[in-house]
A and B are shown apart, each in its own frame.
Chain A
Amino acid sequence: MSNSDSEDIQVIDKVLAGDIEAFSVIIDKYRDKTFNYVYSQVKDYDETLDITQEIFIMTMEALASFRRESKFSTWFYSIMVNYCKNYRKKNSRYNVISINSSRGDDEYDLQLPDERENPEEEVIMNESLRIVKEEIGMLPDDYREILLLRDIQGLSYNEIAEILDISLSNVKVRIHRGREFLKNRLTARGLI
């Protein structure tokens, strides 16, 4: 067990023993990663903050069901991933509009969000990153999730397999496809 993980467990034991305030340590530790994961695929800033907050509330409510068979971070990330997936599913503006993005042999469904107006974005990120975020937001679910976990959150293949509950070989295939997809989109946008 890594240091970081045993620290998490100590905090969780405290919370479950009734010291609810101790949970703020978990929020503090994971808020940037969570914010980043959500913001990379959700349209606006306020929405991102609300979702980030909701993920922590949900985690707190579910804490007693954490079986400790995996690291806390793995368990937490799976809550985060599922929350975002369901959120996008429920919100019609993230619904899939099928267009053909032909790159020779492959065709994909693209997800088209509506036009973007985000004053905060201009403060937080430059034009290139805005395009990257936009293109990631339009990736098909399977590729977007894995790309964010691997190339943005920096998680290992094994952790990702556990979080998404898929095989290691499936993780690799999706990572390759997600990267290829994004690379092609960024090339088409003249960014790389």
Chain B
Amino acid sequence: MSGDHIPFHKMSDLCDNEIRACEERDSLMEHIQSCPECALEFRRLGKTLDLCRELSCISCPEHDLPARTMRSIRSARKKKLLLKSMPAMAASLLIIAGVSLFNAGIIGVHDRATVADDSSRKSFSDSERVIEIIRDHSAAISQVTDEYVEGTVPLSSFNNLRKHLGSRRVAYLLVEESDPDSGAQWGNAIEEVGLDDGQSAGNREPIPGGHGAAAQYVRFRVFR
């Protein structure tokens, strides 16, 4: 464009009401009205912006998008919980085997799994808190579902674990092995909601007939 015509950026400013000085605006408009070349450019710019506005009216035709997205979010969170519970499973296996290498390698896995959202841990769902408590008590987590977190803990640690789980609903029973696949009869489980102050689950005999040298572990489910 020659120096006499209006540069494009001025036209663009004009469209955005970015030219504040009235005199400047008036003189630009005057030029546009008297110069066919600039008038054409200005009209084309106007049409371009009109088409953009038309494009902006297109809305998402999928009405179930929010529901679908929420389903994905739920399942992603479930996977994340499982991932977080993995170090606890691995750690307790090592402890049971009498190996104390936990700090050397497994912690690292945990750190990677939770990197970048450390601050969110306390604020998100209670399940994550539960998993942390379980992990702090040498317990193995075998399952995380929408309803509960299931795990196994050495009998000696269960009292303490139960205390830290506070008022959460817990079902538990004695088993002979830490292996999560060994038959746990949930029908016989003891269920309780909360603990009174000073009360400790281990002061009671948890499962009738389950005691003896072989019964070393407590299988538990902490409900949401």
Q: Which residues of A contact B (CB under 8 A)?
A: 16-18, 20-21, 23-24, 27-28, 31-32, 34-36, 39-40, 49, 52-53, 56-57, 60-65, 124-125, 128-129, 132-133, 136, 147, 151-154, 172-173, 175-176, 179-180, 182-183, 186-187, 191-192
Secondary structure type dominating chain A contacts: helix
- What's the minimum C-beta distance from B129 to chain A, rounded to whole angstroms? 10
Which residue of B16, B54, B62, B76 contacts A129 across the interface (Cβ within 8 Å)?
B54
B123 touches A57 (CB 8 A): no
- Rounded to whole angstroms, the CA-CA distance of A56 and B44 in the bound complex is 36
- Rounded to whole angstroms, the CA-CA distance of A36 and B125 in the bound complex is 32
B56 touches A152 (CB 8 A): yes
Given A52-B60, A151-B49, A192-B48, 8 more A-B residue pairs with CB atoms under 8 Å apart are: A17-B123, A20-B73, A60-B73, A65-B119, A129-B54, A152-B52, A172-B9, A183-B45
Secondary structure type dominating chain B contacts: helix
B48 touches A182 (CB 8 A): yes
- Rounded to whole angstroms, the CA-CA distance of A62 and B76 in the bound complex is 13
Q: Of residues A49, A61, A129, A179, which shows the largest number of chain B Cβ atoms within 10 Å of its Cβ?
A: A179
Q: Specify which chain B residues have a CB less than 8 angstroms from the CB of A57 in the assembled complex.
A: 69, 72-73, 76
**B183 lies within 8 A of chain A by Cβ:** no
**B74 lies within 8 A of chain A by Cβ:** yes
- Rounded to whole angstroms, the CA-CA distance of A142 and B125 in the bound complex is 39
Q: Specify which chain B residues have a CB less than 8 angstroms from the CB of A40 in the assembled complex.
A: 55
Q: Specify which chain B residues have a CB less than 8 angstroms from the CB of A36 in the assembled complex.
A: 55-56, 58-60
**B51 lies within 8 A of chain A by Cβ:** yes
A64 touches B65 (CB 8 A): no
Within 8 A of A (CB), among B190-219: none
Could you name 20 residue pairs across A and B whose Cβ atoms are closer than 8 Å? A16-B120, A24-B66, A24-B70, A27-B65, A31-B66, A36-B58, A36-B59, A56-B73, A64-B119, A65-B120, A132-B51, A147-B52, A151-B56, A153-B56, A172-B9, A176-B12, A179-B8, A179-B12, A180-B12, A192-B48
